[in-house]
């Protein structure tokens, strides 16, 4: 082996070692990226106030939607089914209508569709901003009992996967 070949072999080993280090660091950072739910206050259609701190110890869904969103309207019966399947002391659901959704439409939709979960109107867009800049509807967050966001779902969820995630979160200790 020549000096030049030995040097190339050493460089290849160093490059391989650096690649492994980069992969390990990336994996470590990805694991640490679990975001906490932001401190937020929901003013419900009932006038009641509910905070993310109040929901600590529960698994809950925060679903950003709009009455003008075809996918939101399509998925709403399944969201109702999801709520009814899991409702109880360890589970909650807050539907957040977007700031551009007329309040009268939201109230009418909530009443006529008999939405069984909590509904709030994000009149000033502050909830959209606090929840990591929601821009698209539907956007659904699954939050665990410790207040960590387990999943952010853009668009209609795969309801089998969605329900499995909720079941797994409910099975975890508070």
Q: Are both 149 and 87 inside the same structural domain?
A: yes
CA distances from 74 to 78, 79, 111, 137 (A): 8, 10, 17, 12
- Tell me, what CATH number does 98's domain have? 3.40.30.10
**pLDDT, tens digit, 9 for 90 and up, residues 43-102:** 999 999 999 999 999 999 999 999 999 999 999 999 999 999 999 999 999 999 999 999
Q: What is the DSSP string of the chain?
A: --HHHHHHHHHHHHHHHHHHHHHHHHHHHHHTTPPBPPP-EEEBTTS-EEETTTTTTSEEEEEEE-TT-HHHHHHHHHHHHHHHHH-BTTEEEEEEE-TTS-HHHHHHHHHHTT--SEEEE-TTSHHHHHTT---SSSEEEEE-TTSBEEEEEESS--HHHHHHHHHHHHHS--
Q: Are both 114 and 166 inside the same structural domain?
A: yes
Q: Are both 73 and 12 inside the same structural domain?
A: no
Q: Are both 53 and 8 inside the same structural domain?
A: no
**pLDDT, tens digit, 9 for 90 and up, residues 106-137:** 999 999 999 999 999 999 999 999 999 999 99
Q: Are both 88 and 164 inside the same structural domain?
A: yes
Specify the pTM: 0.81
Q: Are both 56 and 85 inside the same structural domain?
A: yes
Q: Are both 69 and 22 inside the same structural domain?
A: no
Q: Are both 6 and 45 inside the same structural domain?
A: no
Q: Can you give the pLDDT at residue 9?
A: 53
Residues spanned by the domain of 25: 1-33
Q: Are both 19 and 80 inside the same structural domain?
A: no
Number of domain units in the chain: 2
pLDDT at position 4 over 90: no
């Amino acid at each position: 082996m020549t000096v030049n070949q030995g040097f190339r072999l050493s460089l290849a080993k160093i490059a391989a070692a650096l690649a492994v280090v980069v992969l390990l660091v990336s994996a470590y950072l990805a694991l640490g990226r679990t975001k906490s739910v932001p401190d937020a206050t929901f003013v419900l259609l009932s006038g009641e106030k509910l905070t993310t701190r109040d929901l600590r110890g529960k698994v809950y869904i925060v679903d950003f939607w709009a009455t003008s969103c075809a996918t939101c309207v399509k998925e709403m019966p399944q969201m109702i089914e999801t709520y009814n399947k899991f409702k109880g002391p360890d589970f909650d659901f807050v539907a957040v209508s977007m700031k551009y959704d007329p309040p009268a439409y939201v109230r009418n939709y909530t009443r006529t569709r008999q939405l069984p979960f909590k509904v709030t109107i994000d009149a000033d867009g502050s909830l959209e901003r606090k929840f990591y800049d929601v821009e698209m509807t539907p956007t659904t967050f699954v939050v665990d009992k410790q207040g960590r966001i387990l999943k952010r779902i853009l668009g209609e969820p795969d309801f089998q996967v969605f329900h499995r995630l909720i079941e797994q979160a409910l099975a975890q200790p508070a």
